[in-house]
Amino acid sequence: MTFRRSARMIDWEEQGSVPQLAEANGIAAPSTCRAGAWGTCAARVLEGSVVYAAETVAAPGPACALLCIAKPDAVGKAGREALS
């Protein structure tokens, strides 16, 4: 998966979440989803597609994903990383 702002490509390992993958590789990934503020991790999907690991109450819209529960369906580019 490619994080656009950092131009870094990181292999998806099928575990954890996209924010966890980013943080483990030194890319800031602010998300207050862990604290119960759902939707703060929403990002555009520039290439590829995602599947959700859990049922979503409200989808973020076309070509967007909730990164805390989305997993790449194919290698793609995350349109927003840590907005830093």
CATH number at residue 45: 3.10.20.30
What predicted TM-score, i.e. pTM, was given to this entire model?
0.69
pLDDT at 6 over 80: yes
For residue 57, give the 3-state DSSP assignment. coil
Q: Is residue 52 part of a domain?
A: yes
Q: What is the pLDDT of residues 21-37, one digit of tens each?
A: 888 899 887 677 777 77
Let me know if residue 84 belongs to a domain.
no
Q: Which domain holds residue 33?
A: 2-78
40 inside domain: yes
The reply to whether 41 falls in a domain is yes
The answer to the question of residue 59 being in a domain is: yes
For residue range 33-62, list pLDDT tens digits in order: 777 777 778 888 888 888 887 777 777 777
d(CA 38, CA 48): 23
The total number of structural domains in the chain stands at 1
Contact 73, 47 (CB under 8 A): no
Q: Is residue 83 part of a domain?
A: no
Alpha helices (runs of H) in 1-84, residue ranges in sequence order: 18-24
